[in-house]
């Protein structure tokens, strides 16, 4: 869906959206497609690429803020059944847009502890379902999508995979990005007063300030903790929320903007799916070489933030 479609019914323009966010398009799922449908497709692709039979998956993790159902069952259980991962445990990871980063670290800990050999990690969202399409402050920002990774104990001694992660939260900002009603605080009743209150609501300016601070400090923190400098890093893959956030964070941390991968123009903000979609696209375009060090960094609802250091 191109930006121009919004100007047919809202007071906005392609020029405003591009200049304030860097977004040109977003992909919107068919009305009959739910988050698990996108997740299943991503899961099948990654298993086929890795040549791993679904029976050998020990754990399915789905990072999402837009489950098929409210609360339960999890998207992960639906995926587990549909792909035939008969021996797998399954659970969702709810950390907003930082979900994939949290899920990768969860997978790493399961593998390191010996609790699992193969963990399927998926980021999948249909944000179009919880977007208020009449609110120009938010509806132009989001899109639908999914991406997946397989985290395995391959024992080949190649030292590839997730080297370390930093995961953080600041729940004092919980109300800055939320779906105010429909949960147990303000449950649905047979007299739901305001359906709009079940949609995503955001204080964009406050989230912007938070994001610039945590992204700029967090990436430097990951490099320092691992005794690395920017020349050691092939790519920084930030959560694709807004080009201006990424540019401001790069400037503040004095990191070269060329190191930051961005594909937000095509997909907009796909929340927990944005980093796996970015990694997948980079891989397909041949931008990632075996042995490259990659830093991911995300932020989002919760508020949550964090990043992974990955050897590709
Ligand atoms: N078209 C035209 N005008 C708009 C639009 C639009 N789509 N959206 C907002 N405006 C207007 C506002 O109404 C406001 O008008 P006013 O001054 O008359 O009230 C004006 O633009 C300026 O509003 P600001 O909020 O100051 O605009 P800003 O330059 O800060 O950009 C934005 C807004 C893009 C939302 C920015 O604050 C931002 O990127 N915030 C972070 C959002 C984000 O990344 N969220 C997701 C993170 S977590 C997750 O991924 C779920």
How far is the C-alpha of 205 from the C-alpha of 220, rounded, in Å? 23
Which CATH class for the 161-311 domain?
Answer: alpha beta
Residue 150 pairs in a beta bridge with 120
pLDDT of residue 306: 98
Give pLDDT tens digits for 25-68: 999 999 999 999 999 999 999 999 999 999 999 999 999 999 99
CA 93 and chain centroid, separation: 11
Of ligand 1's atoms, which has the minimum distance to the CA of residue 244?
Answer: 39
For 166, the 3-state DSSP assignment is strand
Classify residue 258 as exposed, middle or buried by CB count within 10 Å of its CB (0-12, 13-18, 19+): exposed
Among protein residues, the one whose CA lies closest to atom 42 of ligand 1: 204
pLDDT of residue 159: 83
How far is the C-alpha of 34 from the C-alpha of 251, rounded, in Å? 38
Q: Which of 3, 118, 239, 242 is catalytic?
A: 239
Q: Which of 101, 37, 98, 34 is CA-nearest to residue 70?
A: 34
> What is the DSSP secondary structure assignment for residue 175, as one 8-state letter?
G
Task: Taking residues 84-91, report their average pLDDT.
Answer: 98
pTM for this model (two decimals): 0.95
For 126, the 3-state DSSP assignment is strand
For 208, the 3-state DSSP assignment is helix
Q: Is the pLDDT reported for residue 109 higher than 70?
A: yes
Task: Taking residues 235-246, report their average pLDDT.
Answer: 98
Q: With pLDDT > 70 as the criterion, what percentage of the chain qualifies?
A: 99
Q: Is-contact 76 46, C-beta < 8 A?
A: no
pLDDT of residue 193: 64
Of ligand 1's atoms, which has the minimum distance to the CA of residue 269?
Answer: 50
To the nearest 10 degrees (0 to 180), the angle between helices 14-21 and 243-253 is 30
Task: Taking residues 226-234, report their average pLDDT.
Answer: 97
- How many other β-carbons are positioned within 10 Å of the β-carbon of residue 283? 12
Give me 172's structure tokens.
């004092």
> What is the DSSP secondary structure assignment for residue 242, as one 8-state letter?
-
Task: Taking residues 289-306, report their average pLDDT.
Answer: 97
How far is the C-alpha of 179 from the C-alpha of 248, rounded, in Å? 27
Q: Is the pLDDT reported for residue 83 higher than 70?
A: yes
Tell me whether the CATH fold assigned to 3-152 matches the one assigned to 161-311: yes
How far is the C-alpha of 277 from the C-alpha of 207, rounded, in Å? 22
pLDDT of residue 196: 87
- According to CATH, the topology of domain 3-152 is Peroxisomal Thiolase; Chain A, domain 1 (3.40.47)
Q: Which of 3, 77, 97, 139 is catalytic?
A: 97
Of ligand 1's atoms, which has the minimum distance to the CA of residue 138?
Answer: 35
For the ranges 150-164, 181-195, 264-278, the lowest mean pLDDT is seen at 181-195
- The residue written with tokens 């939320």 in the block is 178
pLDDT of residue 190: 64
| Å from CA of 272 to ligand 1 middle | 20
Among protein residues, the one whose CA lies closest to atom 30 of ligand 1: 205
Task: Taking residues 142-167, report their average pLDDT.
Answer: 92
Angle CA(113)–CA(116)–CA(121) in degrees, nearest 5?
A: 110
pLDDT of residue 237: 98
| Mean pLDDT (the chain, rounded) | 96
Is 227 part of the annotated catalytic residue set?
no
In which band, very low, low, confident or very high, does the pLDDT at 157 lie, cut at 50, 70 and 90?
Answer: confident
Which H helix or E strand runs over 149?
strand 144-152
Q: What are the sequence ranges of the domains in the chain?
A: 3-152, 161-311
Q: Is-contact 63 75, C-beta < 8 A?
A: no
Is 97 part of the annotated catalytic residue set?
yes
In which band, very low, low, confident or very high, does the pLDDT at 264 lie, cut at 50, 70 and 90?
Answer: very high
DSSP-derived pairing of the beta strands 293-300 and 177-178: unpaired
Q: Is-contact 158 113, C-beta < 8 A?
A: no
């Amino acid at each position: 869906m191109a930006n121009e479609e919004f100007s047919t019914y809202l007071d906005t323009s392609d020029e405003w959206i591009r200049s304030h966010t860097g977004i040109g398009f977003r992909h919107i799922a068919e009305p009959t497609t739910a988050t698990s449908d996108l997740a299943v497709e991503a899961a099948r692709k990654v298993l086929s690429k890795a040549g791993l039979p679904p029976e050998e998956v020990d754990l399915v993790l789905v990072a999402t803020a837009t489950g098929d159902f409210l609360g339960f069952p999890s998207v992960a259980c639906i995926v587990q059944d549909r792909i035939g991962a008969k021996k797998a445990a399954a659970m969702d990871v709810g950390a907003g847009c930082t979900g994939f980063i949290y899920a990768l670290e969860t997978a790493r800990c399961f593998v390191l502890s010996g609790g699992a050999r193969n963990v399927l990690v998926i980021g999948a969202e249909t944000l179009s379902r919880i977007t208020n399409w009449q609110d120009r402050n938010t509806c132009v920002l989001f899109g639908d999508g999914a991406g997946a990774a397989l985290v395995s104990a391959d024992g080949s001694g190649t030292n590839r995979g997730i080297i370390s992660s930093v995961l953080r939260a600041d729940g004092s900002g919980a109300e800055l990005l939320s779906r105010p009603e429909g949960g147990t605080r303000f449950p649905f009743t047979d007299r739901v007063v305001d359906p709009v209150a079940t949609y995503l609501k955001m204080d964009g300016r406050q989230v912007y300030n938070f994001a610039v601070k945590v992204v700029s400090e967090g990436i430097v923190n990951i490099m320092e903790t691992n005794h690395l400098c920017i020349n050691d890093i092939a790519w920084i893959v930030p959560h694709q929320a807004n080009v201006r956030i990424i540019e401001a964070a790069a400037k503040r941390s004095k990191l070269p903007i060329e190191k930051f991968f961005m594909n937000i123009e095509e997909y907009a903000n796909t929340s927990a799916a944005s980093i796996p979609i970015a990694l997948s696209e980079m891989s397909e375009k041949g931008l990632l070489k075996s042995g490259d060090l990659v830093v991911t960094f995300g932020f989002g609802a919760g508020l949550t933030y964090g990043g992974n250091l990955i050897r590709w």
